[in-house]
Amino acid sequence: MSAKAFDAIVIGAGQAGTPLAGRLNAAGMSVALIERNLIGGTCVNTGCIPTKTMVASAYAAHLARRAADYGVTVSGLVGVDYKAIKARKDKVSGASRTGLETWIAGMEKCTLYRGHARFESANTVRVGDELLTAPKIFLNTGGRASVPDLPGVHDIPYLTNSSMMDLDVLPSHLIVVGGSYISLEFAQMFRRFGSEVTVIEKAPRLTGREDEDTSAAIQSILENEGIIVHVGAGDIAFARKGNEIAVTFSADKPPAVGSHVLLALGRVPNTDDLGLDKAGVEVDQRGFIVVDDQLRTSVPGIWAMGDCNGKGAFTHTSYNDFEIVAANLLDNDPRKVTDRIEAYALYIDPPLGRCGMTEAAVKKSGRRALVGQRPMTRVGRAVEKGETQGFMKILADADTGEILGCAVLGPGGDEAIHCVLDLMYAKAPISTLARAMHIHPNVSELLPTIAQELKPLD
């Protein structure tokens, strides 16, 4: 069989692959876009869009239960129709996917192949009975939930972030194994839907990449809503107990027994079944595709974007990967991965917005630094909204005034963080933030105030 020739092959219609296919098509190239599952990848189908749609439903339920705090009367108990919540989630997610499918269908020189792509050589890919070839191949194959081989894990009907999206009944007691970002969003969400929730984390604290004060505040927020949190868990094991599931985690504590178990123990890249060895593409010990600062792999003519390259595990890093590849190939703009500043959010309520370095990272760097912090109890907008959990913290270099990092855990923290992030990209000193006039009343209006009150970091 002779291979069908294209100018470019894009494997994976996720948050980097689809827009790249669009840019390449607009530049006049013929493109084969290959997707073995759902168009849009994790973000559209099992990640950002559906989960944040459910977070919105959970927030509505939580606020309704607090109506009396605002002088609002709600007669009777606040109920949750989980099937309706799922239907709303499916509608929002489905509309996004349909929009992408319509966009792809309108690309004049783009052919969509549905199936599993495997390399047969460095420039040849097989999809089912089709053999495709191109001088440029772009990988955007994403990742999936990691399922460690823990004792008894394969004897129970565990859930992952993906299968949670198909759940059509509300758990009576959800046990979440893992204490990081995905796990905590689900934990709070289902607690607000009415489930009993237990979180089990083997590390000494939740969200281990955050500073200790941030982790402690996050745990307090969750526990204030009735979520049971166990950290420092020992050997975690699973067993059926009648119609329920028992999770053991400590010799001196009874097992947690619940109706459902969610495993949220990290992600692994979808690279193990692509035939990368036949193409000569190098992967690291964890299976991530090795790339340089412009996302080129070890094989000329092959690039890797998104979760499969280990350079970020967020929709925004995947999309930025697309922008970097497109800029270098099409715009004569030498953008690099190392140009970007780490930034992300944790979508519990209130959310955490983070950018740059943590306090622990600044201390480890050895540089002289300044820090400013303010609790949400002293932020007028948070008080007015009746949402005063959390705090804001800014770090700056004591010698140069460079803004090093910021954390905003509080109302609108995922939005307010961009005030600082954009200044960091502009390489503006902390004095620029200190002199800025922000709108009152607003959470972000206190960022300039904090910048005026910095003290040496011990």
C-alpha–C-alpha distance, residues 34 and 117, integer Å: 7
Q: If you ran DSSP here, which 8-state letter would residue 402 be given?
A: B
C-alpha–C-alpha distance, residues 181 and 361, integer Å: 19
**What are the beta bridge partners of residue 345?**
353
Whole-angstrom CA distances from 407 to 9, 241, 362, 394 are 40, 42, 13, 7
What the block records as the tokens of 68 is: 């009396």
On the CB side of 32, how many CA atoms lie within 13 Å of its CA? 28
The amino acid sitting at 106 is G
The CA radius of gyration of the chain, in Å to the nearest whole number, is: 24
Question: Catalytic pick from 116, 230, 438, 440?
Answer: 440
Q: Is 440 a catalytic residue?
A: yes
Q: Is 413 helix (H, G, I), strand (E, B) or coil?
A: helix
On the CB side of 418, how many CA atoms lie within 13 Å of its CA? 3
Q: Are strands 260-263 and 256-258 parallel, antiparallel or unpaired?
A: unpaired
Q: Which of 204, 214, 448 minimizes the C-alpha distance to 354?
A: 214
Give start and end residues of each alpha helix (H) in 331-373: 359-365
The residues, any chain, with a CB within 8 Å of residue 423's CB and separated by 6 or more, are 403, 432, 433
DSSP string, 149-174: --TTGGGS--B-HHHHTT--S--SEE
Q: How many residues does the chain have?
A: 458
What the block records as the tokens of 452 is: 């005026």
Q: Which residues are catalytic?
A: 440
